[in-house]
Amino acid sequence: MSKIPTNLQQLFWDIKIETFDPIVYPQYTINRVLELGNEEAIRWLQEIFSELEIKEAIRSDQRLSPKSANFWAIKFNIPLSEIVALKNNRGSIS
């Protein structure tokens, strides 16, 4: 049985959903939901992971798109200068 709700499984098309445990792969899970999820997916994410874990993923995941990284930094009140995805190979943030 999958640990990902049925209505969110389409976000994880590239993994074997039946055996995937989001807790074991927090960075991947958080990134995928922040990039592609809707409000329902975000609510699920916040039930599974603490705000601290989500903020750390926003700060450190260089795979986040600049658009998503910027949005979530603002939403979670994280200084843009702390967001790796906005620095690496995309120029420096002032």
Distance in angstroms (rounded) separating the CA atoms of residues 37 and 81: 24
Residue 53: give the domain boundaries. 6-86
Confidence at 6, pLDDT banded by 50, 70, 90: very high
pLDDT of residue 65: 95
* 92 domain-assigned: no
How many C-beta atoms surround the C-beta of residue 71 within 10 A? 14
DSSP letters for 18-37: TT--TTTSHHHHHHHHHHH-
Report the domain count for the chain.
Answer: 1
Look at residue 94 and tell me whether its pLDDT is greater than 50. Answer: no
* 10 domain-assigned: yes
* 63 domain-assigned: yes
* 1 domain-assigned: no
Look at residue 29 and tell me whether its pLDDT is greater than 90. Answer: yes
* 60 domain-assigned: yes
* 25 domain-assigned: yes
How many C-beta atoms surround the C-beta of residue 66 within 10 A? 12
* 91 domain-assigned: no
**pLDDT tens-digit series, residues 30-87:** 999 999 999 999 999 999 999 999 999 999 999 999 999 999 999 999 999 999 999 8
SS3 breakdown of the chain: % helix, strand, coil, rounded to 5?
55, 0, 45
* 93 domain-assigned: no
